[in-house]
Amino acid sequence: MEHAIKTMLIYFKFLFKELISPLNYFMAFLIGVVINFFQGIGIFSSLVPFIVPIIVQSISKASVKFGNRNLNLLVRLPMEKKDPAFVINTSGEVVAFEGKTKDLFSKYKIINFQDLFENQQVSDIKRVLNDSCSTKQHVSQEWYSPRIKKWYSINMKADEFSDNVLVWLDDISLRKKLDERLTKVRNFSTQMMLSIDEQLKASDSYDRLAQFVLDQGYKGVFITTKEKEGNLKGFVYKSESGQTSKSNEIVIPKDSEAPIWKSRRSLGIVTDALRNYDNSEVFYQNNRFDPHVLDFLNFKVENFVNYHEEDISVITFNKHTEVTQHDLTLMEGIVNSAFTINYLVNIIKNCN
C-alpha cells in the first residue's frame, strides 16, 4: 500500500509539472484558436477547445514521462559522471555536453577534441575519428590529456543516423601510475639481483630498498627481519630535506602491540590513517607505535602501510598522498622483492 501511494505521488508530481508548463498553455491556445476558427464562430467564443488540450497534453505527457522515468534516469548518467561524456562532429568540435562534463570543459576551455589531447598528432586524432565513423563500431584508445593532466581510456561510437560521434572517457590515471611504479619495482629488483656481489661486500641491501621506498613518496620506512626468538629486528629510515637518515638497530618484541606486527596477525596487508578517525587519540590507541621508532622519525605518524613475507616485515609511514589500493599492490611487490633479495643474499653467504 505504501509503495502504491508513493507511486501515485510520483505520477502527480509529473502531472503538476505539466499543468504549470507554459508550453502546454501556448499549444492549447493555438489549438483552441484553430478549432473555433474552422467552426465558423469567434475564436474566443468557446472555452472548451482551449481547456481540453491542456488537460489532454498534461495527462499524456505526464504518463509518458512517468512510464519512462527509469530510462530518463539512465540517460542522466553521463551528466552525473565525473569522467567526461560528450558528442563531437567529424571535425572534432564538441557539439553537446551537460552536467559535470560541461563544468569541466568550461574550466579548461575545451571546445574541440584536440584541445583535450593536444599532445597527440592531428593525424592520430583524425584516424580515430575516421575509424569510428567508418566502422560504426566501438573504438578505444588510451591517451594522456596535458590540459587536464590525466590519462583517459577513450571510447567512441558513431551514430549511424548522423555524422556525430558519442565519446565517453574513463579516468585511468591511477592504473597508469601503478603500471609505471610496478615497472620501477621490477627494474629495481633486477638491478638488485645483478648487484648481489656489491651488496654482499657493502651489506647495504636494506639501505637500497629503503631508499627506493622513500622515493615512492613515503616519509619513513622500517624494515625488519624476524629473529629465531620471534622478535623483529631492523632499521628505520626517514627522508628529510632530500636527505636519508638511518637509525640504530631497533628490536620490536614479539609481544609488542606495534603496528609492524599487524600484517602477521591479520595474515594480510594492513593500512590505517589518521584521517579515518574523528578523534586522533583513538588512532594512536589503535596503533601503538614503538617509542624508539617514533623518537627516530621525529614526526607525527598520519598513515602507514604494513606487510610481510616470510621473515621480512616492512612498515611505511606518511605517504604524501592518500593511500590507495594501488599503493597496497605496490607494497606487496616491494616486500616480495625484499624477501627474494634477502633470500639470495643468505644463500650466497652460506655457500661461502
Give the residue-averaged pLDDT of 127-151: 77
Domains, the chain, with CATH or none: 2-75 (no CATH), 78-171 (3.30.450.20), 176-351 (3.30.450.40)
Instruction: Return the SS3 of 171.
Output: strand
Give the residue-averaged pLDDT of 211-235: 91
Task: Report pTM.
Answer: 0.62
CA atoms of 40 and 307, how far apart (whole Å): 90
Q: How far apart are the first and last CA of the chain?
A: 83
Over residues 93-121, the pLDDT tens digits come to 888 888 888 889 999 999 998 898 887 77
Q: Which three cell numbers stand for residue 43?
A: 475564436
For CA atoms 257, 260, 264, 265, the dihedral sign is positive
Other CB atoms within a 10 A radius of the CB of residue 142 amount to 12
CA atoms of 299 and 238, how far apart (whole Å): 10
Over residues 43-60, the pLDDT tens digits come to 777 776 667 777 777 777
User: Is 238 exposed, middle or buried, given 0-12, 13-18 or 19+ CB atoms closer than 10 A?
Assistant: buried
Are 210 and 237 in contact by the 8 Å Cβ rule? The answer is: yes
Q: What are phi and psi of 251, to 5 degrees?
A: -110, 130
